[in-house]
Every structure is written in C-alpha cells, then in structure tokens.
C-alpha cells in the first residue's frame, strides 16, 4: 500500500501534533491529578467541572472558544503576536493546542485515579523519616503512580490522533499545515472519486490507534510488574 505525499504529510503532522500535545499537557496533568487526588479545598468541584467540559461539550464549541482567544483579535492571540511574534490560529501549533485541550481531561482522570490508589501511609512513612514533600512525591508517589500516568499519556496521544471538530474550527483544513489524518479523511470523503485514499487513511488511523493502545497496555503491565517486584 503506497501512500501519496499528501497522505504521508497528514500522518507525520498527526504524529507531530499528538507528541507535542502529550509533551505540553503531561507536567500540568500530573500536577493537577495529584492535587485533585490528595487535597480537599473550596472550589474543587468547580475545577473538576471545568476540567471535564471538553468531554461533554461539542468539539466545535471548544474550537470556537479557542479561536476567540487565540485568533488575531483575541486577547491571547494579539498578545502573543505583538510581544513574541507567535501566531497560533490556523497553524499546526493551534492544532496541538486544540488536541491538548480535548485530551487533557482523559490524562488527568487517569493520573488522578492512579494517584488516589497510592497508599498515603507510604508517603507518611517517608515524611516521618525526614523526606520533604517534593522528595516524597518524586521517590514514592510518582513511581507508584507510573502505570496510570503512562496510561493517561497514551490516552491523550490517541485522543489527539482522532481530534477533528475543535481542530477544524480553530485552525482550519490547510494542506501541509493543519490537515491531520482526520481532516485529510474528511477532505477525501467530500471529494468525488477519492474512495481509495480515504480507505487507506482509515486503515492507517486504525493501525496507529491500535499500536498506541497495545503499547499502553504492555507498558502499563511492565510498570506494574516492576513496582510489584515480579
């Protein structure tokens, strides 16, 4: 199955966007998951509701909000352009932001669940032996929660690969710049006589998603085995 230059471009762009999505969201995702799992505070319910908004709102709504914020006249977009000459809307960077927003709740949910399963008595024991909070987090909490963190990262990666609605609304469907696999597939389905390349992209999407999910399962089991000393 030979891929055309356009199909290869869409595949590479999707991988690039997904990797940046994970890289950008992983640190704040781990931190927020830890905070939600370990602390009770006023406004926690509001934060959780806002966090899960992308899971229940139509993706087009998220894309439009991002366009209002990061567009040429948006308060963030104007500030980034004037101060740093960075333009986000209708670029691959915007596609990465859209994917990050849509995938972030999945990552935080996985991290939070994993953090909540870590026995607080282990952290308390380390604290009583003189370890500071940061050291306890890095040497006890983080390693024990590694399987969940890994699962969250791969779920976010896989969600990014399939992101369509927010992306096309925020950054458009520009070949070579923002046309990821879902957008390329949409383009082919709207073009007469393009059934063959559309089928190829479907098979590519299935293969990439399957590899990501299998890798998540294998790496998660390996991390659990190492933690259990098996």
Q: What is the CATH number of the domain that holds 179?
A: 1.10.3720.10
- Checking if the pLDDT of 29 tops 90, the result is yes
- Checking if the pLDDT of 218 tops 60, the result is yes
Confidence of residue 83 (pLDDT cuts 50, 70, 90): confident
Over residues 156-184, the mean pLDDT reads 92
**Residue 105: closest CA among 147, 55, 65:** 55
What is the chain's mean pLDDT, rounded?
88
CA distance 204 to 195: 14
CA distance 93 to 148: 27
CA distance 142 to 27: 12
pLDDT of residue 130: 81
pLDDT of residue 32: 94
Confidence of residue 96 (pLDDT cuts 50, 70, 90): very high
Confidence of residue 84 (pLDDT cuts 50, 70, 90): confident
- Checking if the pLDDT of 230 tops 80, the result is no
Could you identify the residue written with the tokens 């190492």?
Answer: 226
Of 131-135, 182-186, 207-211, 213-217, minimum mean pLDDT range: 213-217
Over residues 176-190, the mean pLDDT reads 92
Over residues 100-107, the mean pLDDT reads 94
- 59 HSE (CA, 13 A, CB side): 20
Over residues 159-169, the mean pLDDT reads 92
Over residues 181-209, the mean pLDDT reads 89
- 107 HSE (CA, 13 A, CB side): 27
Burial class (CB in 10 A: 0-12, 13-18, 19+), 202: middle
CA distance 214 to 180: 22
Q: Work out how many domains the chain is built from and give that number.
A: 1
Of 56-70, 85-99, 205-219, minimum mean pLDDT range: 205-219
pLDDT of residue 74: 87
Vertex 156: Cα angle to 151 and 159 (nearest 5): 125
pLDDT of residue 146: 86
Over residues 53-60, the mean pLDDT reads 93
Tokens of 136: 């306890």
List the domain range (segments joined by +) for residue 175. 5-228
CA distance 80 to 230: 50
Question: What residues contact residue 140 under an 8 Å CB cut-off, 6+ apart?
Answer: 118, 122, 123, 126, 131
């Amino acid at each position: 199955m030979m891929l055309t230059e356009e199909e290869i471009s869409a595949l590479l762009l999707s991988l690039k966007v997904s990797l940046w999505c994970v890289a950008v969201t992983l640190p704040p995702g781990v931190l927020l998951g830890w905070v939600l799992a370990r602390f009770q505070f006023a406004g926690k319910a509001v934060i959780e509701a806002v966090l899960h908004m992308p899971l229940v709102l139509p993706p087009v709504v998220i894309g439009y909000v991002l366009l209002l914020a990061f567009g040429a006249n948006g308060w963030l977009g104007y500030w980034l352009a004037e101060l740093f000459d960075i333009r986000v809307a209708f670029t691959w960077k915007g596609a990465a932001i859209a994917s990050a927003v849509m995938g972030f709740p999945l990552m935080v949910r996985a991290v939070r669940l994993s953090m909540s399963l870590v026995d607080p008595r282990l952290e308390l024991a380390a604290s009583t032996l003189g370890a500071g909070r940061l050291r306890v987090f890095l040497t006890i909490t983080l390693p024990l929660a590694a399987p969940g963190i890994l699962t969250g990262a791969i779920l976010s990666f896989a969600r990014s690969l399939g992101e369509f609605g927010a992306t096309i609304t925020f950054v458009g469907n520009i070949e070579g710049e923002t046309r990821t696999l879902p957008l390329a597939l949409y383009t082919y389905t709207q073009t007469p006589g393009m059934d063959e390349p559309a089928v190829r992209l479907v098979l590519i999407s299935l293969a990439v998603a399957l590899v990501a999910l299998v890798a998540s399962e294998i790496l998660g089991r390996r991390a659990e085995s190492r933690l259990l000393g098996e």
